[in-house]
Amino acid sequence: MDNSDTTGFDEKSFFDRVAAQFIERAPDLSKSLNIAIIGKVSSGKSSLINALLKRSRRQALELAKVGAISGITKNLTILKLDDKVYLIDSPGLDDVRAENSEITKKFLKHIDIGIFVVTGSSDASQKKNLDDLRQHCDSIFIVLNKIDEWDDLDPKVLNDIIDQWKNDLKIDKIYPTCTKGYDPKSRIPKMDIRGVYQLRSDIEEFLEKKGKDLLLVRHMTEKQSYAVKIIATALVAVGGEAFIPGSAVYITATQGAAIASLYYLYTGKILSPHAALGILPTFLAESTGSSLFLFAKSFLPPTGILDIAASSIAITITLALLATVNHILSSGASIEEEELLRSKFRTYRTQTEETFRELGCTDIRDLPEWSALVAKFLKNP
């Protein structure tokens, strides 16, 4: 096995460009791409962070704290690499779990790239820890650290140990590394960071390929939750407005405002109410029967039975309409594409039949209940 892998290493790589800084206050990890180092106590996690960032021993003193006594890293320590990427040093895996605080629970949920560090001879009990990590994160680099332990033996021994780890953890790839020399009490004059360059460049390659997508997916998930709120709020309003004489005017205004909000959410641009309403006629043509009913009804004085029917129609049409706009905008298409609007609206309109039945049991003023209904509706187009 060749561990002298300094060849092909790009000096301008991501880890070199960043000015890593520890941050005091835990950031909102749901908005960033998070790389976390996880593993048993004293496996060399903090040393690996210093090595990834190519710190000298003196610089390392100010960075991830390294020590021969186990449990040196007590809490999560979060390093900001750039605006969107965090590198997180964690205490030993069992400590992370035992602590079970809100921050560590969130932390486990938001790991995008896990670096799982093991040491010594293969230990099948680590498989459970790895499986736990896999539940939250599917991009995992597995590192066998402290390979210098076998320096005095035939190189075949290290190869056998690597094979055994692969077998026990059921994995194809493992990164053998050494991160010796970061302990301030260390007496060795030079750092020994074998294997770290290979790991670094593979993480960088992964970031290059997938990093943007991961961030985008996360960004979109967040946007969807705002979209759900916008749509649910509009439905509650529309449901109430259907009871008002002359309701069609109010309903159309609410729909226009919701479309403009969704447009702003996805494009960051303000759509004039006029332009927002401009896309409505397409939909009116699709649902003439019910809209005409609503329109005609709006001139009548409110009477119980009619109002409830009108309210349900107003709500289901508005739901299909806003779900269509949401779908089109979130997929990056333009809301001016009439054909797309039309066909998507038709699909959603059919889907509202089922939702319509659930509507019967929904309190018209209960926003959380509406939000749950809308979230479910948007999930199965």
Ligand X SMILES: Nc1nc2c(ncn2[C@@H]2O[C@H](COP(=O)(O)OP(=O)(O)OP(=O)(O)O)[C@@H](O)[C@H]2O)c(=O)[nH]1
The residues binding Mg ion (CB under 5 A) are 45-46, 72-73
Q: How far is the CB of 349 from ligand X (least distance, A)?
A: 57
- Give me the least distance between CB of 177 and ligand X, in Å please: 7
Q: CA 349 to CA 162: how far, in whole Å?
A: 57
Is residue 11 a contact partner of residue 27, using CB atoms and an 8 Å limit?
A: no
- The entry of ligand X, Mg ion, none that residue 47 binds, CB within 5 to 8 Å by partner kind: ligand X
Contact status: 126 vs ligand X (CB under 6 A): no
For residue 110, state whether it binds ligand X (rule: CB under 6 A).
no
**Residue 188 CB, nearest approach to ligand X (Å):** 9
The binder of 245, among ligand X, Mg ion, none, by C-beta within 5 to 8 A per type, is: none
Q: Closest CB to ligand X among 97 and 212?
A: 97
The CB-of-22 to Mg ion minimum distance in angstroms stands at 13
Give the integer Cα–Cα distance in Å for 237 and 335.
23
Site string for ligand X, 137-166 (x = CB under 6 A): --------xx-x------------------
- Chosen residue from 45, 55, 200, 349 binding ligand X by CB under 6 A: 45
Closest separation in Å from C-beta 48 to ligand X: 7
Under rule CB under 6 A, how many of the chain's residues touch ligand X?
25
> How is residue 373 written in tokens?
């209904």
Positions in the binding site for ligand X (CB under 6 A): 41-47, 66-68, 70-73, 91-92, 145-146, 148, 178-180, 182-183, 186
